[in-house]
């Protein structure tokens, strides 16, 4: 029990490191929560900080997600320990204790968890997400990929707990989509905000207006 608690605690601590926030603060002096989408994630780094930095930031977030499950496996905790460690990393990122419980969506961490626990889920997520990119429906592709991942895991014969853990992670990410922006933005007057958040991961349909908020004409 103590070993499991230590692993889950370590996964939470790693997941809580606000990589995107730190990069934005130290490279541009920006509070990434106040500009663009307000999301403390790689996508907002791309939009508001630096396109070149999105790769190292994204890979670091993937590593944050993978670390906990891999550590759980290394100490012999089994699928339950791996799932708990993965969920802890996503929760820590999404409701970050260092950022007054704001944070990102946890997609990068979820990718790392899938890479560590279910190749079938990862392959399905990538395929569905790339379909979204091709159709210029990225938020929808990411959401559908996350929701499809647990079913792909189950179909591939993964441990049931692994599939359930991936379902919990998908639910966590989608919950953060709904709640992460706080009260509806003033730009969203007349919009069906909750539905738009769920489908588009923002408060308004106009993507450019949303991601350019607070930039004051600066180039990203």
Which residue do the tokens 């792909």 mark? Answer: 152
Whether residue 216 is contained in a domain is answered as: no
Q: What is the pLDDT of residue 220?
A: 38
pLDDT tens for 19-63 read 999 999 999 999 999 888 888 999 999 988 989 999 999 999 999
- Per the structure, the complete domain to which residue 6 belongs is given by 2-211
Q: Is 123's pLDDT higher than 60?
A: yes
Nearest Cα residue to 5 out of 89, 78, 96, 72: 72
Q: Which residues, in sequence order, are bridge partners of residue 102? A: 96
103: three-class secondary structure by DSSP: coil
Residue 97 falls inside a structural domain: yes
Distance CA 142, CA 156 (A): 20
Asked if residue 217 belongs to a domain, the reply is no
In the chain, where does DSSP find H-type helix? 2-15, 19-28, 42-48, 54-74, 78-94, 107-117, 119-134, 138-155, 160-179, 193-200, 207-211
Check residue 118 and report its DSSP letter: -
d(CA 208, CA 95): 26
Name the band, by pLDDT with cuts 50, 70 and 90, for residue 189: low
pLDDT per residue as tens digits for the range 53-74: 999 999 999 999 999 999 999 9
Do the beta carbons of residue 125 and residue 149 sit within 8 Å?
yes
Instruction: Find all residues with CB under 8 Å of 202, minimum gap 6, and list them.
Output: 37, 139, 181, 196, 210, 211
**Residue 218, in any domain of the structure:** no
**Does the residue 219 lie in any domain?**
no
Average pLDDT (99-118) is 96
pLDDT of residue 211: 77
Question: What's the pLDDT at 190?
Answer: 64
Is 103 inside any structural domain? yes
Residue 139 clears pLDDT 50, i.e. is over it: yes
Number of structural domains in the chain: 1
């Amino acid at each position: 029990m103590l070993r499991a608690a230590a692993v889950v605690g370590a996964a939470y601590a790693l997941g809580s490191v606000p990589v995107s926030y730190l990069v934005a603060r130290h490279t541009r002096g920006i509070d990434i929560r106040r500009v663009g989408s307000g999301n403390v994630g790689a996508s907002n780094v791309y939009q508001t900080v630096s396109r070149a930095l999105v790769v190292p930031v994204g890979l670091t977030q993937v590593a944050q997600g993978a670390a906990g499950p891999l550590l759980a496996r290394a100490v012999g905790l089994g699928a339950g320990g791996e799932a708990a460690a993965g969920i802890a990393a996503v929760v820590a990122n999404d409701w970050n204790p260092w950022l007054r419980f704001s944070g990102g969506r946890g997609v990068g961490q979820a990718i790392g968890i899938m890479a560590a626990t279910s190749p079938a889920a990862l392959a399905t997520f990538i395929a569905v997400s790339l379909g979204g990119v091709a159709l210029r429906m990225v938020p929808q592709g990411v959401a559908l990929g996350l929701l499809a991942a647990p079913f792909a895991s189950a179909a591939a014969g993964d441990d049931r707990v692994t599939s359930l853990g991936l379902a919990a992670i998908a639910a966590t990410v989608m919950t953060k989509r709904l709640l992460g922006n706080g009260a509806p933005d003033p730009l969203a007057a007349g919009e069906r905000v909750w539905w738009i958040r769920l489908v588009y991961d923002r408060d308004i349909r106009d993507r450019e207006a949303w991601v350019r908020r607070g930039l004051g004409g600066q180039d990203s």
